[in-house]
Amino acid sequence: MIEPPTEAATIDGRSIVPEPGETILAAARRLGIEIPSLCAGPEQRPAPEWRPEGGCRLCTVEVTGVERPMAACHTALAPGSEVRTRSERIQSVRREILRLHLSSYPRLHVAPETLLGRLLAEHGLDAPERPLLRDRLDESAPYLRFDPDLCIVCRRCVHACSEVEGQDVFDVAERGASVRLICGEDDLLAHSDCTSCGACVSRCPTGALFDRDRDPLAFEPATSRTESVCGYCGVGCRVAVESHEDRVLRIGGVEDAEVNRGHLCAKGRYAHAWQHSPDRLDRPLLRRDGRLEPASWEEALDFVATRLSRIRDEHGADALGVFTSSRSTNEAAYLLQRMFRAQLGSNHVDCCARVCHSSTALALQQTTGTGAASASYVDVDRASCIVLAGSNATEAHPVIGARIKQAVRRGADLIVIDPREIELAGWAEHHLALRPGTNVALLNAIARVLVEEGLCQKDFVDQRCEGFDALYEFLARSSLEEAAEITHVRVAAIQAAARRIGAGDPVLFVHGLGLSELVQGTASVMALTNLGMLTGSIGVPGAGMLPLRGQNNVQGNADMGGMPDQITGHQALADEDARARAERLWGSAPPLEAGKTIPEMLDAAREGSMRALWIQGEDVAQSDPDETHVLEALDALDLLVVQEMFPTETAARAHVVLPAAGYLEQDGTFINGERRIQRVRRAVAPPGEARPDWEVAQEVAQRLGANRRFEDPAEVWDEIAEVAPRLFGGVSYARLEGDGIQWPCPEPDHPGTSTVHADGFIRGKGALVCVDHEPSPEHGVEEHPWLLVTGRVLHQYNVGTMTRRTPQQELEPEDRLEIHPGDARRLGIEEGDRVRVTSRWGTTEVPADVSHRVPHGVLFLSFHQPGSHTNRVVGPHLDPASHCPQYKATAVTIEPV
């Protein structure tokens, strides 16, 4: 253990106490002293995985008492030492190194805005007047361009790709003066493992690696820079949006952001072309004579308010329902549920969390007392053991996926539970490739090994949990052999993984929809939570439960009350204090009885008892299971109000379409998967007459007699904090600069909560639960012997409404059915062949992707393209408790077309 030094050192005469192992470069940066470097990345706060390259030697400094100059990037700052960063000798060798670059790369064009250009100027060297030749470009990939003429082999990209994204696309060939950057197998980015994350571009000091949508000759002047939050997945990366005249020029990661530390994925960094897509909805549409036609906002809003009132008057409030949007802001979701509950008197409020993590939320709520992540992303860095269950993080949550790779590189053990050979399975110590829909059996088997072999944290369980004896007896009744037969995972593999999980250190459980989107979804997450308690992991830093949330604001949407049985802040409808606050603030309290869930509302619509639905930013026609059934339901409505950015399948069925602003175009807040409330800011104007969702909800609410008019989203948030003081009482916009705050944050001086349940479970005692494996209704269906899993791929986002309108579509142009090569051979299916997939619920045709990623008998299909109709095939089964659909196991047959 290194004792923290207390003795100061000086850098250019300024005193600083070095942190243990801190380099001179890092310490100088802390002092705001810039030591020039071409190879050290811009990391303000070097992550543990960041290794210095030490190649450019520009950061050489003088250390008193040391004869030779030392490289600041890999020399520790010794207490008591005196460092001079700009002596005459140092400046002269730096100038010579820079001059050598110019004389050694005769085709190097130096743009003054680049880092190299700036360093030349600082050292009194003129950039040579050379043309930018651009005749050797690699433009094989849609976003990134490589120009070997501009490459000075500083290797920043090599480090960024390896240490940030974990991809190792780049390396260096030859030696001496002949060294050159190479990538992949054949030096074409498109053929390499490049994920287009752009980490290399953001660090390149010369523009050799550059965004294709920008011209390296013209570094366009960005006239505004707006810090906001990415609007794709629930990771919630902080972005800096540079724009000019209401057009996005580029998006970069915020370097010191807690969530993403400057990193972004291809979607976050590059996929913003949807913003000016020609088919953006830019004025309201009203259905007249069966056709959607342009209308004024006044007409549209009046129409919505009038029709809602009329339907309520004729059929009662029970005939009205709303899906609040997980893509929009908290303020938008809050106002919409407020209007339905208070002005219209309906609790039929739900959100798309229903069809993804509702099982997770319910299970965690019941067992721990909070239906959200107990841990934070920072725990990925701290963890010594990570269990990744039912989550393909590198594709669905790329920035967290990359962070898991970083953790593994630092020595954390990874255990992957997933039917497919996902990318992270290749990084894992143990991969349990279970049969789809058998999580409960597998997780119970692991629990059995823990209990049987004395690998539980007995003190934690005794002091903090309840139900251990019952669980012990319950587990004793099962056998590992049975589990192996159900899950298709060998007993020895279960034991080996369990022994690592029970090795004694707390474990971080990162989980996803592979657990929740099953009839046994809630049971699966409860069985996983059992492991969290048995290993003493919940409420402990570097460990706990970390479900990865799908949409940018799906956590926030549920937190705002986008649920039929809870109002804002996860407060029960029957909670007297909550009701009193709602009545005071909203003008009236919500009905006592819980409303319907999304599947129930759709059922009710088809039956005719639900007459009006308001769908905010969600394309249920493509995203929800049993597509035929969904379309019938929508078509049966008297009123379908859709707030949308694009003419989706759902919007096409609407009576009113209200054009919406996207995440780059509005103010408000999102809450990410680690409960972090962050500010979203308008970077560019929405197109035409499109308006932020919160404004639209407010306009209709006004027409329905709302008790209050809000001036801006900040006022809306203040009311949210007042309605739900336990989670949000201490949060105001003034406190949401920078990295925001993680709820719960009950008081203005409360710092927010990184680790929930740290002082004991919120529920009181953590509940160990006995849940037995039950065969899925899709298991053992004789005439449909294959099991289909549906899910997401890296370069598309959900139903693709946005990503399909960007170059992402080029990276991932179609949904393809993954099938094991042995199965494909047996059926005579070859790569790219069209295949018909048929379940008891529907059929579709898609091209085949013959791949070892899936085991025998299992198929995988994404659902990003409307033409794939993946959800025609997915059946109607729901988890009975959470009403989450079973997307992750459907019995099908397949045949070549």
Choices 47-55, 602-610, 741-749, 846-854 (CB under 8 A): range interacting with other proteins? 47-55
Residue 669: DSSP 8-state:
E
- Quick one: which of 47, 78, 97, 827 contacts other proteins (CB under 8 A)? 97
CA pair distance 532, 337, nearest whole angstrom? 34
CA pair distance 418, 407, nearest whole angstrom? 19
Sheet strands (E) in 363-482: 385-389, 413-417, 430-432, 465-466
Cβ count near 763 (within 10 Å): 16
Residue 285: which residues within 8 A CB-CB, separation 6 or more? 292, 293, 294, 295, 300, 654, 656, 657, 659
- What does the per-residue mask of binding to other proteins show for 51-70, with x meaning CB under 8 A? xx-xxxxx-x-------xx-
Q: Are 607 and 616 in contact (CB under 8 A)?
A: no
Alpha-carbon torsion (108, 112, 117, 121), positive or negative: positive
- At closest approach, how far in Å is the CB of 456 from other proteins? 28
Choices 177-185, 264-272, 600-608, 868-876 (CB under 8 A): range interacting with other proteins? 177-185
- At closest approach, how far in Å is the CB of 60 from other proteins? 5
Site for other proteins in 264-303 (CB under 8 A): none
CA pair distance 300, 655, nearest whole angstrom? 10
Choose between 193 and 833: whose C-beta lies nearer to other proteins: 193
Residue 676: which residues within 8 A CB-CB, separation 6 or more? 236, 258, 259, 376, 739, 740, 741, 742
Choices 173-181, 208-216, 242-250, 649-657 (CB under 8 A): range interacting with other proteins? 173-181
**Distant-in-sequence contacts of 469-476, Cβ < 8 A, 24+ apart:** 470/768, 470/770, 471/447, 471/530, 471/768, 471/769, 471/770, 474/770, 474/772, 475/444, 475/447, 475/448, 475/451, 476/448, 476/451
Phi-psi region of 124 (alpha: psi -120 to 50; beta: other; left: phi over 0): left
- What does the per-residue mask of binding to other proteins show for 390-419, with x meaning CB under 8 A? -------------------x-x--------
CA pair distance 326, 333, nearest whole angstrom? 8
Residue 389 pairs in a beta bridge with: 417, 511
Choose between 193 and 689: whose C-beta lies nearer to other proteins: 193
- Could you say whether residue 93 binds other proteins (CB under 8 A)? yes
- At closest approach, how far in Å is the CB of 886 from other proteins? 36
Q: Are 270 and 200 in contact (CB under 8 A)?
A: no
Choose between 176 and 221: whose C-beta lies nearer to other proteins: 176
- At closest approach, how far in Å is the CB of 421 from other proteins? 16
CA pair distance 778, 733, nearest whole angstrom? 48
- At closest approach, how far in Å is the CB of 815 from other proteins? 26
- At closest approach, how far in Å is the CB of 406 from other proteins? 11
Choose between 409 and 836: whose C-beta lies nearer to other proteins: 409
Choose between 191 and 779: whose C-beta lies nearer to other proteins: 191
- Could you say whether residue 38 binds other proteins (CB under 8 A)? yes
Choices 181-189, 678-686, 699-707, 783-791 (CB under 8 A): range interacting with other proteins? 181-189
Site for other proteins in 182-211 (CB under 8 A): 182-185, 192-193
Choices 142-150, 165-173, 569-577, 803-811 (CB under 8 A): range interacting with other proteins? 165-173
- Could you say whether residue 103 binds other proteins (CB under 8 A)? yes
The SS3 assignment for 747 reads coil
Choices 141-149, 179-187, 703-711, 846-854 (CB under 8 A): range interacting with other proteins? 179-187
Choose between 193 and 845: whose C-beta lies nearer to other proteins: 193
Choices 85-93, 129-137, 310-318, 541-549 (CB under 8 A): range interacting with other proteins? 85-93
Q: Are strands 508-511 and 385-389 parallel, antiparallel or unpaired?
A: parallel
- Could you say whether residue 47 binds other proteins (CB under 8 A)? no
Alpha-carbon torsion (51, 54, 60, 61), positive or negative: positive
- At closest approach, how far in Å is the CB of 385 from other proteins? 16
- At closest approach, how far in Å is the CB of 342 from other proteins? 56
CA angle, residues 166, 169, 172, in degrees to nearest 5: 120
- Quick one: which of 113, 174, 256, 632 contacts other proteins (CB under 8 A)? 174
Instruction: Report the first-to-last Cα separation within the chain, whole angstroms.
Output: 65
Which one, of 511, 151, 186, lies nearest residue 360 by Cα?
A: 511
Taking the C-alpha atoms of 744, 747, 750 and 756 in order, what is their torsion angle to the nearest 10 degrees? -20
Helix ranges (DSSP H) in 123-187: 156-159
Cβ count near 182 (within 10 Å): 17
- Could you say whether residue 89 binds other proteins (CB under 8 A)? yes
- What does the per-residue mask of binding to other proteins show for 354-393, with x meaning CB under 8 A? ----------------------------------------
Choices 90-98, 384-392, 717-725, 771-779 (CB under 8 A): range interacting with other proteins? 90-98
Host H or E run for residue 315: helix 297-315
Residue 179: which residues within 8 A CB-CB, separation 6 or more? 153, 172, 173
- Could you say whether residue 173 binds other proteins (CB under 8 A)? yes
- Could you say whether residue 26 binds other proteins (CB under 8 A)? no
Amino acid letter at 674?
A: E
Choose between 152 and 731: whose C-beta lies nearer to other proteins: 152
- Could you say whether residue 830 binds other proteins (CB under 8 A)? no
Number of residues that bind other proteins (CB under 8 A): 47
Choose between 60 and 260: whose C-beta lies nearer to other proteins: 60
Choices 175-183, 417-425, 447-455, 656-664 (CB under 8 A): range interacting with other proteins? 175-183
Residue 263: DSSP 8-state:
-
- What does the per-residue mask of binding to other proteins show for 137-156, with x meaning CB under 8 A? ---------------xx---
- Quick one: which of 28, 71, 322, 891 contacts other proteins (CB under 8 A)? 71
- Could you say whether residue 178 binds other proteins (CB under 8 A)? yes
* Residues that bind other proteins in the complex, under the rule CB under 8 A: 38, 51-52, 54-58, 60, 68-69, 71, 74, 89, 92-93, 96-97, 99-101, 103-104, 152-153, 162, 167-179, 182-185, 192-193, 409, 411
